[in-house]
Amino acid sequence: MKISVTDAKGQLAELVRLAEAGEEVVLTRHGREAARIVPVRSPVPIEGRRALMDEVRKAGAAKAKTGAEATRSQDFLYRPDRPPE
């Protein structure tokens, strides 16, 4: 829904109610879009954040344990008969 700022002044409570219900409310000034009224997202509950962080930690730990040791992974770049320059 598009509505001019002038017309919206008297209907703000109704426009907020519409936005909360999921309708897009766009405020216009001189025929151009100026602002948008959108509902505030509720934050993710702490239990959800903890579960997400546990998943990320497990994935990182799994990646850290796989693959060859990196200590001498660059040795193929150097000739065996002389040290690196």
Domains of the chain by residue range: 2-37
Rg (alpha carbons) of the chain, rounded to whole number: 29
Higher local confidence (pLDDT), 56 or 83: 56
Question: What pLDDT does 83 receive?
Answer: 63
C-alpha–C-alpha distance, residues 56 and 64, integer Å: 12
C-alpha–C-alpha distance, residues 20 and 64, integer Å: 44
Q: Each residue of 8-38: pLDDT tens digit?
A: 999 999 999 999 898 999 999 999 999 999 9
C-alpha–C-alpha distance, residues 3 and 27, integer Å: 5
Q: Each residue of 32-68: pLDDT tens digit?
A: 999 999 988 777 788 888 999 999 999 888 777 656 6
Question: What pLDDT does 84 receive?
Answer: 59
CB 85 within 8 A of CB 77: no
Label the pairing between strands 2-4 and 25-29: parallel
